[in-house]
Chain A
Amino acid sequence: MDGAEPLVELEGATVRFGAFTALDGVDFRMFPGEVHSLMGENGAGKSTLIKAITGVLPLDEGSLTLAGESVQFATPHAAQAAGVSTVYQEVDLLPNLSVAENIWLGREPRRFGLIDNAAMRRQASEVLDGLGLDIDPASILGSHSLAVQQLVAIARAISTDLRVLVLDEPTSSLDTDEVAELFRVIRDLKQRGVAILFVSHFLDQVYEICDRVTVLRDGALVGEYLTTELLRIDLVQKMLGRDVAEFATRERVVEPDLPPDPFLSARGITSAPGIVDADIDVAEGEVLGLAGLLGSGRTELARALTGIDRPQSGIIRIEKSEVRLESPRHALQIGVVYSSENRRTEGLLPELSILENIVLAVQAQQGAMRRIPLARQRELAMSWIDALGIRPSDPDRKVGTLSGGNQQKVMLARLLALSPRVLVLDEPTRGIDVGAKVEIQNLVGELADNGLAVIFISAELEEVLRVGDRVAILREGRVAETLTADSLNPDTLLALVAQPDLPEA
């Protein structure tokens, strides 16, 4: 197939958001009748690249060619008109309208100026039949499962002159049968010569359906490979990369073997979506690293352990006594705190001051009526600003004006001010500069040395190994193994993280 002309060709694509370069001179191509996968961790630039192809974002530099012609899509609709359609994970259709309308909206068949509903349903039926789908075109879209809605979105796409179909994480909330149905449709489209971009973090699926893989890391191109020629472990290594920044390996105080009595112990945690029967132990003075690919359930596990989401089943014990974490508030009360990976949407209050952001959780625990005296608030905030080195050290400055690293420290300060016993950190070093990163890593070590039980989540395996005493490896929502950090090196950890799961017995 390599002899064929590429249908889509992106050359030197660069997209910037202010000072931040999200996509840096990336070359990318797609061939007709081929399924292409785009791989990379969070922030690698996958979604930016998709948006650049589908007309959501303009290119700052570089060129886009479609079937040999240079094109520029001003809107997603312009891209659709040229035959480039996208189906998102969160289906961008209208759940309140019928399946037939969702397929034909904006292009409805009309008679005497009025919409001909019968003809529209008939034509919708034809499109759906063509895909081998038996869906009632008159039914309301919202009454169907997400899987069916995605198939309808594909039906809408192919009802135009479809040349390129982008599927952005289509399988992340589908079950096995639904994925099989989707793959059947994808293979069918492949036969018709459509170029398909399939983005998924499930390696098994990528290897099953894709012919070609492009790997991105930190907004730059790592390379383009044929799936058949790229070993799974090599793919993961290319995605995660090797970052040789200087970190002090931390002195380990605790015996790194499985501690005799874990401070927090979770058994059989199952939480939809994403976590199945997970067991986790973490002792005081220990950092437990959580390693896993994107979509392995890292965040879901952290949220289930800290009362953010209530797990369907499973037992959490703290100091051997069983606890039910009813709410984040309840978890904070018993000293289990969670720092979200999304500082912006689930963490900081940008319009409030550093001081207010730091004292917020302590104050919330105290209750609204018992205000911490202002002097005490200031003292508390200043002590954390000093301890964590938050810059600028002005407690009255609005948090929205701080850099990412300092915002992260404010988040930590808020939680540490509660004197927690279990600290769960979800990607605390993502999107911050190297200096702040090292500071936070060292801080995590110190906190553990002071007797905290820490669970540390990171996409960077080196970081997990450096900070963690033990490492729990997550694969597809299960804790596959828990090993001491000393017994692992980045290569062996990589192998474990990337290993395909054996089919269930």
Chain B
Amino acid sequence: MRILRHRLFWPAAALVTLLVVNTIANPNFARITIRDGQLYGNPITILRDSAPLMLVALGMTLVIATRGIDLSVGAIMAVSGAVALTIIDDSPNPGSVGTVVVAVIVAVVVGLVLGVWNGFLVSVIGIQPIIATLVLMLAGRGVALLITGGEITTVNSAPYKFIASGYLIILPIAFFIWVAAVVVVSMLERRTALGMLTESVGINPEASRLAGVRSRGIIWSAYIASGVLAGIAGVIYASNTMAADANSAGYLIELYAILAVVLGGTSLMGGKFSIAGTVIGVMTVQALEKAILFLGVPPAQAPVFFAVVVVVVVLLQAPRVHAWGRAAGRRMGVGAKPRTDDRKEVAA
């Protein structure tokens, strides 16, 4: 029964259920084939395609843990993708690895700068996170359009295309990128004290201040991380399409990222966060998207399903629904067992 109480139990159960349902509905879903020593199939596609959302959701997790939110991630993706592709497009030698390395570095640095800007507005000026990041969400795509000159810049560069669609040994590069990002962020949060201090700021900013926590720096760092990760996500997205589309790059990704974070069990009220939960959440969103596709629904109509998921998830978290659940439980004689209650108050 202990496992039932683990905070990742329900998110993981939801994911597993979804995968099982998909597989039963269509046995092809789980099929993995090997071609030229490389794995293919739906599960692999999910692992590869989740890279942009995973990176964005990772950053969003940190921001949400500080009681914040970052709406500008999609716009940052558009900007960084536009920067990378424009650099490659303008270079005399778009196919060279050197050009691509420069392009990627510059694009990620642009993401970092935009993250610094968001963090500055929130932690120094003290603007509400929703509003502060709204500014960039609005203006960011305009900037991306300016960079691309209002057109969809199409680029031919093998090394750049490799980022999204290449394979390393048997698995896609994009998969390795997000795994690396998850590992680095986890290490950064859990091997340093950043994670604990972030949680303390998110749970109670005033108590943290009195304990000497430098919350400004911690909040700022979360937005910087979010900016950097969105920058990398933009690079991958652009590499996938090989076209800098300032309007559709990262469109609605902030909302999917928030959904993934919430599905992973991190509360929008800030405080305790779980990177593993976010990974599960992102996988769930991706699997859901695939499932919708498998049902023969046009991808454009997928938002209806996501609307239902959002409503169900928020209802499951709503206190009123919990109260109904308890009342129903009592009527049926199952009862909220005192087991959970007696753990609450342990006297001296």
Contact = CB atoms under 8 A, between A and B. Distances in A.
On whether A and B touch (CB less than 8 Å), the answer reads yes
22 contacts: A328-B209, A346-B207, A346-B210, A348-B207, A349-B200, A349-B203, A349-B207, A350-B203, A351-B271, A351-B272, A352-B196, A352-B203, A361-B211, A363-B197, A367-B193, A368-B218, A369-B193, A370-B192, A370-B193, A372-B193, A391-B348, A403-B347
A405 interface: yes
Contacts of B210: 308, 328, 338, 340, 346-347
Interface string A381-406: 00000000001100001000111011
Interface of A: 308, 327-329, 332-333, 338, 340, 345-352, 356, 360-361, 363-372, 391-392, 397, 401-403, 405-406, 414, 433, 435-436
A404 to B, nearest CB: 9
A406 B203 CA distance: 20
Nearest to B271: A351
Interface string B148-175: 0000000000000000000000000000
Nearest to B197: A368
Contacts of B199: 349, 351-352
B214 A364 contact: yes
B343 interface: yes
A351 B213 contact: no
Contacts of B211: 328, 332, 360-361, 364, 414
Nearest to A303: B210
A372 B193 CA distance: 8
Contacts of B196: 352, 356, 360, 363
Contacts of A372: 193
A364 B197 contact: yes
A356 B201 CA distance: 13
B213 A360 contact: yes
Contacts of A349: 199-200, 203-204, 207-208
Interface in B164-206: 191-194, 196-197, 199-200, 203-204, 206
Interface residues of B, number: 30
B341 to A, nearest CB: 11
Contacts of A332: 211-212
B203 A351 contact: yes
A196 to B, nearest CB: 35
A345 B205 CA distance: 10
A397 B271 CA distance: 17
Given A360-B211, A401-B345, 19 more contacts: A308-B210, A327-B209, A340-B210, A345-B206, A346-B204, A346-B210, A349-B208, A350-B203, A352-B196, A352-B203, A352-B272, A360-B196, A364-B197, A368-B193, A368-B197, A402-B346, A403-B346, A405-B348, A414-B211
A360 B347 contact: no
B35 interface: no
Q: Choose among A349, A365, A366, A367 the residue with the greatest number of B CB atoms under 10 Å from its CB.
A: A349
Interface of B: 191-194, 196-197, 199-200, 203-204, 206-214, 217-218, 221, 271-272, 343-348
Contacts of A368: 192-194, 197, 214, 217-218, 221
Contacts of B212: 328-329, 332-333, 361, 364-365
Given A352-B199, A406-B348, A329 B214 contact: yes
Given A364-B212, A366-B193, A371-B193, A436 B348 contact: yes
A356 B271 CA distance: 13
Contacts of B271: 351
Nearest to B344: A401
A301 B249 CA distance: 56
Nearest to B221: A368
Nearest to B190: A371
Contacts of B347: 403
A403 B200 contact: no
Contacts of A346: 204, 206-207, 210
B292 to A, nearest CB: 35
A328 B214 CA distance: 10
Nearest to B218: A368
Nearest to A338: B210
A47 to B, nearest CB: 22
B336 to A, nearest CB: 16
B194 A369 contact: yes
A401 B203 contact: no
Nearest to A433: B348
Nearest to A405: B348
Contacts of A367: 193
Nearest to B267: A351
B168 to A, nearest CB: 31
A392 B344 CA distance: 12
Contacts of A370: 192-193
A392 B342 CA distance: 14
A6 B263 CA distance: 59
B204 A345 contact: yes
Given A329-B212, A406-B348, A363 B193 contact: yes
B216 to A, nearest CB: 10
Contact of B192 (A328, A371, A402): A371
A402 B203 CA distance: 17
Contact of A369 (B192, B209, B213, B348): B192
A363 B199 CA distance: 13
A443 to B, nearest CB: 14
B348 A371 contact: no
Contacts of B204: 345-346, 349
Listed from nearest, the 5 A-B pairs whose CB atoms lie closest are A329-B212, A332-B212, A371-B193, A364-B213, A364-B212
A411 to B, nearest CB: 10
B348 A403 contact: yes
A363 B195 CA distance: 12
A351 B272 CA distance: 8
Contacts of A406: 348
A441 to B, nearest CB: 15
A349 B207 CA distance: 7
A401 B207 CA distance: 18
Q: Choose among B194, B344, B348 the residue with the greatest number of A CB atoms under 10 Å from its CB.
A: B348
Contacts of A371: 191-193
A367 B221 CA distance: 13
A288 to B, nearest CB: 21
A356 B343 CA distance: 19
Given A365-B212, A368-B193, A391 B206 contact: no
Contacts of B345: 401, 403
Nearest to A394: B346
Contact of A345 (B191, B194, B207): B207
A338 B211 CA distance: 9
Contacts of B203: 349-352
A301 to B, nearest CB: 16
A327 B214 CA distance: 10
A401 B348 contact: no
Contacts of A338: 210
Contacts of A403: 345-348
A356 to B, nearest CB: 6
Contacts of A360: 196-197, 200, 208, 211, 213
Nearest to A356: B196
A388 B344 CA distance: 21
